[in-house]
């Protein structure tokens, strides 16, 4: 469950997978975000869920005559989206914060409709698959396949697939690329250093696209990097992580977070 208020500057490079680094434009917005997700166990490691998501976005300011106007971005004026959905989750990880073995899979579908107060009609489908393989004592290979898909012709900007950030494709600003769809595969090698300290090496590849059929191996985007971990709670395996990721072109970034990226 999450209820939050945001008011901060963001960046926009336009829609699509081929936007240049020098196209960056600033914009600002206020947002109230509500996400409720109730899970019920129906079998060993298997859960079904009901979800509700709401965004109220207002006071959107952007460069007049710039990318927002040129591309007629949906959501450049005040709006609200409201949607109900369901999920199916299989979770066989041995720890929620920092697993070293097991599998996690979740399919999430949410439909936004004017019938329940949304300004736009569209459906969001998310598939999140993760696998954790122990290599030796306290060393782990972790993998994730993440697919984020929107169906519908009017998906507002804050609901589009947002490429990059602290959890997926580290090395890119969260939202460096935006479009209807996103497909990412990433891996991470986690190993101890000394007492409470550990380290990771990671890499990933993926892209955004207007339609699933438009993905192409020839224009995949990649990122790689490494980081250190400090165990705040060894029993619960809760880590403080500091990562540095490098993407293509001029893209790179530092990340300071609680818990693993995935």
Which pLDDT score is estimated for 26? 97
Which pLDDT score is estimated for 218? 87
Which pLDDT score is estimated for 158? 96
Which pLDDT score is estimated for 3? 94
Which pLDDT score is estimated for 122? 98
Which pLDDT score is estimated for 173? 98
Quote the CA–CA distance of 78 and 68 in Å, as a whole number: 14
Quote the CA–CA distance of 73 and 249 in Å, as a whole number: 25
Which pLDDT score is estimated for 159? 97
Rounded average pLDDT per 10-residue block, the chain, 262 residues: 92 97 96 97 98 98 97 97 98 93 98 97 98 94 98 95 97 98 98 96 98 90 98 89 97 96 96
Which pLDDT score is estimated for 1? 82
Burial 38-77 (b: 16+ CB within 10 A, else e): eeeeeeeeebeeebbbbbbbeebebeeebbbeeeebbbbe
Number of Cβ atoms within 10 Å of the Cβ of 164: 26
């Amino acid at each position: 469950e999450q209820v939050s208020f945001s008011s901060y500057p963001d960046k926009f490079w336009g829609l699509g997978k081929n936007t240049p680094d020098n196209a960056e434009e600033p914009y600002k917005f206020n947002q109230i975000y509500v996400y409720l997700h109730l899970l019920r166990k129906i079998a060993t490691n298997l859960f079904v869920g009901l979800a509700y998501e709401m965004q109220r976005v207002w006071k959107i300011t952007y460069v007049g005559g710039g990318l927002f106007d040129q591309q007629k971005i949906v959501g450049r004026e005040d709006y609200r989206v409201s949607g109900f959905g369901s999920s199916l989750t299989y979770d066989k990880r041995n720890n929620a914060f920092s697993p070293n073995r097991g599998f996690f899979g979740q399919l999430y579908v949410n439909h936004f409709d004017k019938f329940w107060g949304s300004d736009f009609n569209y459906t969001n489908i998310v598939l999140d698959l993760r696998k954790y393989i122990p290599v030796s004592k306290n060393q782990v290979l972790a993998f994730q396949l993440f697919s984020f898909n929107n169906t519908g012709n009017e998906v507002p900007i804050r609901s589009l697939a947002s490429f990059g950030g602290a959890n997926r494709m580290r090395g890119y600003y969260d939202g460096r690329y935006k479009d209807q769809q996103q497909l990412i595969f990433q891996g991470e090698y986690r190993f101890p250093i000394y007492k409470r300290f550990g380290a990771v090496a990671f890499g990933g590849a993926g892209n955004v696209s207007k339609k699933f059929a438009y993905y192409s191996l020839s224009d995949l985007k990649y990122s790689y990097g490494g980081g250190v971990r400090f165990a705040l709670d060894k029993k619960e395996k809760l880590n403080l992580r500091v990562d540095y990721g490098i993407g293509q072109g001029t893209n790179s970034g530092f990340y300071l977070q609680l818990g693993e990226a995935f």
